[in-house]
A and B are shown apart, each in its own frame.
Chain A
Amino acid sequence: MQLLIDSLSKKYKTKYALNKFQCELKEGVYGLLGPNGAGKSTLMKLLVQNISPSEGEIFFDGENILDIKSEYKGMIGYMPQQQEIFPFFTGRKFLNYMGILKGIDKKVLSDEIEYMADKVNLIEELDNKIGSYSGGMKQRLLIAQAFLGNPRIVIFDEPTAGLDPKERIHARNLIAENSKDKIILIATHVVQDIEFIADEIILLKNGNLIEKSSPAKLLDKLRGQVWEFYVDTEKAGEYIKNNMVSSAIRHGDKTLLRVVAHEIVAENPVNVEPTLEDVYLSVFGGM
């Protein structure tokens, strides 16, 4: 299975939201990282055909998706960045509605709803109105609908936005568990969401593809460039201003700084292992 994105561009008036984006996706989990306005949502909308590209094409297994429109729609699961679902529907009714819209065979839909609800831990609440669901429950319901019908490509836009840490972990694990034999694309600006589950990370900035690589390779590139050291708290501000600082923790009159830099001028700097947050910082700028 292969999804080929060929020179994809989307232009709004004079500004490119996405500029000649070129990428090949195969089975696996892809993290789409970038700050607000990087073009993540535009790329997702183009992939799910909610908007049309200004230039470029998308191919699925060698066929232009415009030529296999209906078939392609049947292969996609999508979870947009929002939590507003019809509050008057029960969870079951909503999944039922989405299942019918996705064209899932009625004979298997009921069982599939039960299966997915069980997977997202909503089986007990399935017959309650969505209006009574918490934010996390709504998010899990949206994840369930995205996986409904066993789509081959699943796209998540900020799947953990607004969730508490426990819910975040739950949502992240859910996606990872269901990722087998699928292309899963997760757009986020929260690095931890994809740190442990993404096979590859796509870095987007101002509509341009910056990097597409595995987390290990991205970390390798930064190895030797991440430092930790103490400075006087009163001088910390100046350091933060002039360097790429990924964290600053105050210990009395001293502050522990974590800085991404090729070389560092400080007292007793310690070279530490980079994380994806450091990568994000090095690409998109710091504090």
Chain B
Amino acid sequence: MIKLIKAETHRLFGNYKLLMVSLVLLLVNVALMIISCSVDDISSDEYVHIKSKLLSEMEFGDIEYTDSEAYKEIFDEYMSVLLYSDYVEKTIDNAKGYGDFSIFQNEFSINNSKKTLYDFTAMKNITPKFVGGYGMEKAISFASTDILLLLIIIIGINEVVIKDKKNEILSLTRATSNGSKKYAFAKITAVFSFATLFCFASYISNIVMGLIIYGDIDFSAPIQSLLDYSNCALKLNILEFLVINFIHRLFVCMIVVTVISLCAYVASNEVVLYIYIIFFIVTQLVVFSIGKTARLVFLCHLSLPHLLNPSEHFGYYNYNLFNNAVSSTIVDGIILLCAIVLLLLCSVYIFSRIDMEYKNIRLSKGRRRRHKVGNLFFIESEKIMLGYKVIGIVLFLCVLQLVAYGQKEKVENINEIFYRGYIKQIEGELTEEKINYINDEIAYMEDLKNQWYYWEQEYNAKNISSTKYEYEVERISKELDREIPLLRCKKYIDYLSQSDEANLEIIYDTGWNYLFGGANYKYDMNNAMLVVIAIIIGVSFMYVEDYKYNIQPIMKICKNYDRLKVVKRCIMHIYVGFVYIIVYLPELLWVYKNYGLTQSHANSASIMRLEYVGGNLSIFGYVCLVHLIRLIAYYLICIIMIGIGKKVRSTNITIIVSVVIFLLPLLLRTLGLEVFDKVALNSLLSGNYFLQNVL
């Protein structure tokens, strides 16, 4: 048995190609983590800045208020730690309250209260402390890692099961004494070991990235120090929790391995296997959604999305088991173990019983049927998209964008709301009347400040009661909330009135500013990274993979080879265009929906950010120019890559060289190294940065 396991494991770990794929997926995981952090509304720089101040024994009151998500996140974390004992006391009181009025409760409620009382009394001596663990929370619940882990499992199973079926090795080995049940177990163990390695590497890399981006944390602090885990009833420190969570992940991983192995044993070929896997994933999502919406907690708890979300899985919850309150974490753990054993037995049994014949996918039956002859464009597209699996990149991008923009929320603080309110009132042509209105408002603010001063003096002189004073201060303070946005407005109006450009208009520009790359062009760089990755992989396969099959000599002598070149070029244009749309359209729609994109006909210099643009170019014209520059940059990458591909004639080398030339500088720029602004094609890929330096 050990020898069998060793042999199967060696097939995976000794396979250079598989190791390379794993490494690439690991790098993709790191890249996705970086992207996720950089598009996060919580700015990592600001978070680290505030966190370091707090950790250097400053009080929260000493921290200067900023109306940012990072400030809010840290404030919530800080308060959660500060009020933890109150939370525990309140939970205990609630539990006691429920127990006291037992006459109105059913048996489970009483038992649940007793258990809660017992569990939380034990939590009284836990003292969480502020650690600034947002990065850690993000690292251990990063959903993309789970998707990549699933991919690794599918690849591993494809290698040791489907390939063996295809090569008729399974039919052969099953005839041997050890080739049946033991062999099935060995295969599952091998894939599990392979997945464990990836699971470990990705888990560690996520934690390291989380620490690098959001700052170091104290691992000896209780797990309750992390905001999302404040209701966790486990007496563990963060390090111990990380270990427990990793073991839990391995259990879930084992479940997935056994389920997919079972599917692979039953499936007659890889396509059928993929259909089973899709069905499995959809079932899990449906079970999770039904469980959540229908409040069938049990269903929800046993679905993969819940199991892979540690803050939910390790949250405090008791099941009703025959009127007894039992911890959901323990019950889920036992069910997971039983499921693994059952699925293992099932897989091994099925492996030893059913026919292991590989059946080819017949696209059409009936040899005498007249077959339709396709045209070159469609056959070449099929070859590239399905044969070389480039469609996978497109689908991956679609899913990524759907997930990213599906859950992306508009961040709008009070200042932004007031600013929008002011601008909407004076939107359009700049007139004396509008300038006066803003000036009047500013004067009113000054008046309010004087009033504040007046009431303060009155109160200090004991001429008014404290109630009156507090009432007046609150009233004035509420009105003064408009001061910061008003000053922003004033600055904008001053800019417009002092500008030499003609036909300037007052525009609510937040949405436009987002489209122009945001602060430090970070949105530009993130989008460019996605497109460049898709281009590097897609175009390499489109143009270089043919060399792998040595089919080029036959194709080259064909009469329509020149037509093929045109067709390939068309497919490349469509692919790049499609990828471009997938990446940039969701951003445009999201901005339009959340901020609005008005007055596109206005002179672009109407937006302060675009003061460098002259020549009466409209905002729409500027946007078109940015897109044109980006497209030129992307096509430039394609052309250079085709040149590299023709020279090296290897898809892998082309990808590696292109990553070094185009992606690495972009990645370093995305990480915040501004020195890479002008390196390679970075400025062209941003478009906005290029125009700022040229115009």
Contacts and interface: CB of A to CB of B under 8 A. Distances in A.
B379 A100 contact: yes
A84 interface: yes
Contact of B549 (A78, A84, A102, A128): A84
B373 A127 contact: no
Contacts of B558: 73, 98, 101-103
Nearest to A108: B373
Contacts of B295: none
Interface in A15-53: 45, 48-50
A7 interface: no
A110 interface: yes
Interface stretch (A85-93, A176-184, A226-234): A85-93
Interface in A104-131: 106, 109-110, 113, 123-124, 126-129, 131
B362 A102 contact: no
Contacts of A76: 557
Given A78-B554, A99-B373, A128-B362, A123 B559 contact: no
A50 B387 contact: no
A102 B559 contact: yes
Given A73-B559, A100-B379, A101-B560, A78 B367 contact: no
A74 B559 CA distance: 5
B467 interface: no
B354 to A, nearest CB: 21
Given A84-B550, A123-B367, A101 B555 contact: yes
A224 interface: no
A160 interface: no
B553 interface: yes
A13 to B, nearest CB: 18
A113 B550 CA distance: 22
A196 interface: no
A85 B380 CA distance: 14
B548 A48 contact: no
A103 B559 contact: yes
Contact of B371 (A48, A49, A97, A110): A110
A124 B362 CA distance: 11
Given A101-B564, A128-B362, A73 B557 contact: yes
B243 interface: no
B370 interface: yes
B387 A49 contact: no
B110 to A, nearest CB: 64
A50 B553 CA distance: 7
B367 A93 contact: no
B371 A92 contact: yes
B386 interface: yes
Contacts of B364: 127
A80 B553 contact: yes
Interface in A216-256: none
B363 interface: yes
B551 A101 contact: no
Nearest to A84: B549
B578 to A, nearest CB: 21
Contacts of A50: 553, 556-557
Contacts of A98: 554, 558
A101 B370 contact: no
B376 interface: yes
A106 to B, nearest CB: 5
A124 B366 CA distance: 10
A82 B564 contact: no
Contacts of A102: 558-560
Contacts of B380: 97
Interface string B379-393: 110110011000000
A96 B386 contact: no
Interface in B537-566: 548-551, 553-561, 564
A80 B564 CA distance: 20
**Of B362, B371, B373, B386, most A-chain CB atoms within 10 Å:** B373
A153 to B, nearest CB: 11
B166 interface: yes
A100 B166 CA distance: 31
B695 interface: no
Contacts of A113: 371
A45 B557 CA distance: 10
Contacts of A99: 373
Given A100-B373, A127-B362, A128-B362, A84 B548 contact: yes
Given A96-B379, A100-B376, A48 B557 contact: yes
Contacts of B559: 70, 73-74, 101-103
B24 to A, nearest CB: 21
B361 interface: yes
B383 A86 contact: yes
Contacts of A2: none
Contacts of A82: 550
A110 to B, nearest CB: 5
B56 interface: no
B360 interface: yes
B360 A78 contact: no
Interface string B550-586: 1101111111110010000000000000000000000
Contacts of B379: 93, 96-97, 100
A192 interface: no
A145 interface: yes
A34 to B, nearest CB: 19
A213 interface: no
Interface in B149-192: 166
A54 interface: no
Given A86-B387, A101-B561, A96 B373 contact: yes
A268 interface: no
Interface in B348-407: 360-365, 367, 370-376, 379-380, 382-383, 386-387
Interface in B185-214: none
A128 to B, nearest CB: 5
Contacts of A70: 559
A88 B386 contact: yes
Given A74-B559, A90-B363, A132 B554 contact: no
A103 B372 CA distance: 16
Contacts of A110: 370-373
Nearest to A117: B367
B360 A129 contact: yes
A277 to B, nearest CB: 30
Given A103-B558, A123-B367, A86 B549 contact: yes
A151 B294 CA distance: 69
Contact of B387 (A89, A109, A145): A89
B386 A128 contact: no
B554 A145 contact: yes
A97 to B, nearest CB: 5
**Of A101, A103, A131, A132, most B-chain CB atoms within 10 Å:** A101
A72 B133 CA distance: 72
B360 A132 contact: yes
A127 B363 contact: yes
Q: Shortest 6 CB-CB distances between A and B: which pairs?
A: A101-B558, A103-B559, A88-B387, A82-B550, A48-B557, A84-B549
Given A89-B387, A145-B554, 17 more contacts: A73-B557, A78-B553, A78-B554, A89-B383, A93-B382, A96-B374, A101-B560, A101-B564, A103-B559, A103-B560, A109-B373, A127-B364, A127-B367, A129-B360, A131-B166, A132-B166, A132-B360
11 contacts: A73-B561, A90-B363, A96-B374, A97-B380, A100-B374, A100-B375, A100-B376, A101-B559, A110-B373, A128-B360, A131-B166
Interface of B: 166, 360-365, 367, 370-376, 379-380, 382-383, 386-387, 548-551, 553-561, 564
